[in-house]
Amino acid sequence: MQKVDGVSLGVWPVGGLVIAGGYIILSLADMAMSSVAFVVGIPEVNPLLAWLAHHGLFVPGKILLTAVVGGLIAWLYPRKCGKAVGWVALMTMVGVNLYHLWGLSTL
């Protein structure tokens, strides 16, 4: 079994690009589910994204923020604190998406 950066899940090594890619995919899913929530009247709770949504900039702002954070995860991952930052960001997005799925399923 090959290991990259000392971490491996099964046969696939987990590196910064994998964690960043997962974060980006989950963040874009969050954007899609947030857009659905806006249609049914549920507001954005993130203050920065709520401000962007108020000014009609939710989608471009979310895409830019996602790209910046994904790039930072990929860049920081090989460094000492980068693994923790990447995994925390990824697990946060997992939680956000699960919350969206639960919230939208109760409507």
- What's the mean pLDDT in 1-16? 62
Q: Express each pLDDT in 65-103 by its tens digit.
A: 999 999 999 999 998 888 999 999 999 999 999 999 999
Q: Express each pLDDT in 22-80 by its tens digit.
A: 999 999 999 999 999 999 999 999 999 999 999 999 999 999 999 999 999 999 999 88
- Are 90 and 22 in contact by the 8 Å Cβ rule? The answer is yes
- Number of Cβ within a 10 Å radius of residue 72: 17
| 7, β-bridge pairs | 4
Report the C-alpha gap between 100 and 105 in whole angstroms.
Answer: 8
Instruction: Measure Cα distances from 98 to 3, 4, 56 in Å.
Output: 29, 29, 26
9 pLDDT above the threshold of 90: no
DSSP state of 79: S
pTM of the model: 0.85
Q: Supply 102's token pair.
A: 């639960």
Q: Supply 14's token pair.
A: 């987990």
pLDDT at 3 (0 to 100): 54
pLDDT at 14 (0 to 100): 78
